[in-house]
Structures are given as structure tokens and as C-alpha cells.
Copies of this chain bind each other. A is one copy, B any other.
Amino acid sequence: MISEKMKPLVANNSVIRVMFEEGKRLASIYGAENVYDFSLGNPNVPAPKEVNEAIVETLMEEESTFVHGYMSNAGYEDVRATIADSLNQRFGTAFHQNNILMTVGAASGLNVILKTILNPGDQVIAFAPYFVEYGGYVRNYDGELVVVSPNTVDFQPNLDEFVEKINEKTKAVIINTPNNPTGVVYSDATLTRLGEILREKEKEFGTEIVLISDEPYRELAYDGVEVPYVTKYYANTVVCYSYSKSLSLPGERIGYLVIPDEMKDSTEVFTAATIANRVNGCVNAPSLMQRVIKRCIEKGASVNLEAYDRNRNRLYEGLRECGFTCIKPEGAFYLFVKSPIPDEKEFCATAQKYNLLLVPGSSFACPGYVRIAYCVSYEQIERSMPAFEKLAQEYKLK
């Protein structure tokens, strides 16, 4: 009954499902508190109190048919203007409301822009390790995902290999900073060079290449590290933002695209993206949440970053003491740890014996590493430490 395109997705889904079912099975045997599930990027830090305040205020102060009604497919104009202003204040940009398109989260924003620009056979480049869903999104529009292999020294993108992989079929490049799964923030130097390469290659091939900056973790950066604003480095940039992590609203499906004036055919791209948002069935980003985002920006709401930072430090130090190797993440809420054996899937299986659920790096096109999502309670991290120690002992890491 199902389509040919869906068949591999259903087949590969079962792999992830096995892990999910395994977690539930372990919890039923050992008790949920004795299973250390680090597999999911589902924030445990609650949405800031301003979110629920803004919801109630919206319901009290704004008209029902307006709050819950259809609006322009790009979103409410005042919401988009507020977002543009806020970006301009924080990053010195010059956006206006017609650069901002409200989306059903970043996942949908990525689909909207890919649907807008991709022709069948077009190539989209991603840097390993990368969010594995990109492959599915690109194939939705019959594009081909081309992967640049990881630079495991510091997990900045491997730009030498990147230069080699760009060709006349390259339509887009996806970057994600702060990065899932490494927590690395792409540096000013990286983005400067990336922009140069893209401009050179556009000239060489006489093409336009869109740089898609997937930024659900922009606000999650630690130790005062700066996350450069990507539109400043390259004109044909589309930013894909989400409030899933920055306001802990992943279930609500709210984010936006930035399509800057500097982009080639900017107005047409914006119109087409607005139509893509409608035709793919989203129609518009959820209306109440749009109203809420405006108020949250005005209130200066932000998620409790200290909680993640505390988790980050505790887990990083703890794992280092056990003898594990990983670079300290500057952003997001993931640690990317080197597997003590080349086959990190086997390592994950061993970890499961100690009720530790970790995601193999091959799920991010980066075998030999595992991802630990620390968007969990501090208590879970504390409780998991003896398990990590036993795991380290099994591999004689100390």
C-alpha cells in the first residue's frame, strides 16, 4: 500500500524504534529512575514563565477569531516585524517583516526552503556530523544529500573537502551552529572562509548556491561565546530558526525563516516560500504561538541556560574523570564522545547493559563517536555517573 519512497524510511525507522522500545523495556524492569536515557533532544528545562503568562494575556486581550484564525500564510505581520526588530537590535542586521516567514518549527522551515529551491537531482551539501533528518528532507524534493566527512580534530567543518565537493549541481549547503551533535559553534574564521568559497564557486560555475543556516540552538551558547550571524558572511543565506529549544516549546511547532533582501531574487523566493508553506499543508505557523512569541520577545523571555550549563559541566567533568575523550561543547545540549572502540554501535550496546542509552555517531554520519543529550535532569546525570564509571572500567579507560 505504501509508496516506494516511504519504504526505506519505514525500514530504517525500525532501528530507532528498537532503541525507544528498549528504553521502555529497561524502565519497566529496573524502574525509570535507574535507566539513563540520554538519547533524545527533548528539553527537560521548562518553558520560561513568560510563555504561559503570554498565552493567558493573549487570550484575555486579543480577539478569539484573530488569535485562532487564519492569517497571511507568512504569519502575522506584527509578529514578523517584532522578530525582525529583535534580530536587528541583537545582530546589527537590517531585516523587516517581509524577510521573516513564520514556520512550523525548524524542521518545517527546512522543508519549506528546500521545496522552494530544489529541482530533482540538485545536490545539497551537509557537514558530518549532521542532523540525520536532513537526508529525508532533501529526498522529499528528489535532491541528493552530499556529505563532507567530519573533521574530528575540532569539529569545525572540513572546508578543504567542501571545496572539492561543490559542483554545478550544488544548489544548497546546510550548516548547523551551535551544532547537533557536537555542541561546536562555527567560528568567525570558519564562516568567513565558507562565504569566500561559496562566492568563488558561484562564479566558477555560474550558479547560485543557497547557504541554509539551521539554528535551533542559537540561544544555547555557554561561557559567553558569540554565535556569529550567518547572513553577514554570505548574501544567499537563509536562516532557519526555531523556538523548540530556546523557549523549550518543541511540541508547539514554532519557528521562522529569514530570507534577507541581499539574497538573489529575494522577493520571489519569499513569495515562493510562503506558497510552499501553504501547499505542503502547514498553511501557517500555529497562530496562538505566533502571538505568544511576540509577547515573549517584548518580555525578554529566555530559557534557564544555567541548568544546561550545570549539566554540561557536570557531565563533561564526570566523563573526563572516567577516562572518556570529548571536546567541551560551547553550545546546544549535546556531548559528542569518542567511542573507546572503533565500532561505536557495539559500544552503545555495551552501554545499554548499564542502562545507559546513547546514540551511535553513525546516526549522524560520524561513526566512532556517540551522542549524549544532556537536556535531562541534573539528578539523572548524577545518578548515571556510577554507570559511566563501570562502562569505562569495562574498556579499561583508567
- Which residues of B are found within 8 Å of A218, using beta-carbon distances? none
A150 CA to B74 CA in the complex, in Å?
A: 33
Residues facing B in A56-84 (CB within 8 A) are 56, 59, 63-65, 67-73
Asked if residues B69 and A140 are in contact (CB atoms below 8 Å), the reply is no
A219 CA to B135 CA in the complex, in Å?
A: 40
Which of A285-293, A317-325, A346-354 has 4 or more CB atoms under 8 Å from chain B?
Answer: A285-293
Asked if residues A283 and B105 are in contact (CB atoms below 8 Å), the reply is yes
Which of A189-197, A267-275, A359-367 has 4 or more CB atoms under 8 Å from chain B?
Answer: A267-275
- A sample of 19 cross-chain residue pairs with beta-carbon separation below 8 angstroms, ordered by A number, consists of A1-B268, A1-B269, A14-B275, A14-B278, A17-B73, A47-B65, A51-B68, A56-B59, A65-B248, A68-B248, A104-B253, A105-B283, A107-B281, A109-B281, A250-B283, A251-B286, A253-B286, A286-B286, A288-B288
Is there a chain B Cβ closer than 8 Å to A264's Cβ? yes
Q: Contacts A272-B9, A275-B9 given: A253-B116 contact, CB under 8 Å? A: no
Q: Contacts A6-B272, A265-B1 given: A104-B282 contact, CB under 8 Å? A: yes
Is there a chain B Cβ closer than 8 Å to A44's Cβ? yes
Is there a chain B Cβ closer than 8 Å to A55's Cβ? yes
CB distance from A172 to the nearest CB of B (A): 11
Is there a chain B Cβ closer than 8 Å to A4's Cβ? yes
Asked if residues B279 and A68 are in contact (CB atoms below 8 Å), the reply is no
- Which residues of B are found within 8 Å of A47, using beta-carbon distances? 64-65, 68
- Which residues of B are found within 8 Å of A65, using beta-carbon distances? 42-47, 248
Asked if residues A251 and B68 are in contact (CB atoms below 8 Å), the reply is yes
Asked if residues A279 and B137 are in contact (CB atoms below 8 Å), the reply is yes
Asked if residues B69 and A250 are in contact (CB atoms below 8 Å), the reply is yes
CB distance from A215 to the nearest CB of B (A): 15
A250 CA to B45 CA in the complex, in Å?
A: 30
- Which residues of B are found within 8 Å of A288, using beta-carbon distances? 55, 251-252, 288-289
How many chain copies? 2
Asked if residues A282 and B268 are in contact (CB atoms below 8 Å), the reply is no
CB distance from A375 to the nearest CB of B (A): 10
- Which residues of B are found within 8 Å of A109, using beta-carbon distances? 281
- Which residues of B are found within 8 Å of A287, using beta-carbon distances? 251-253
Q: Contacts A279-B133, A283-B107 given: A3-B69 contact, CB under 8 Å? A: no
- Known A51-B68, A282-B282; further 12 A-B contacts with Cβ < 8 A: A14-B275, A42-B70, A43-B65, A46-B64, A68-B249, A68-B250, A104-B283, A107-B282, A111-B281, A137-B281, A140-B280, A253-B284
Which residue from B10, B67, B110, B268 sits with its C-beta under 8 Å from A272?
B10
- Which residues of B are found within 8 Å of A46, using beta-carbon distances? 63-65, 68
Asked if residues B280 and A111 are in contact (CB atoms below 8 Å), the reply is yes
Is there a chain B Cβ closer than 8 Å to A40's Cβ? yes
- Which residues of B are found within 8 Å of A284, using beta-carbon distances? 251, 253
Q: Which 8 A-B pairs have the closest CB atoms?
A: A251-B287, A108-B281, A111-B281, A46-B64, A1-B265, A107-B281, A136-B279, A2-B272
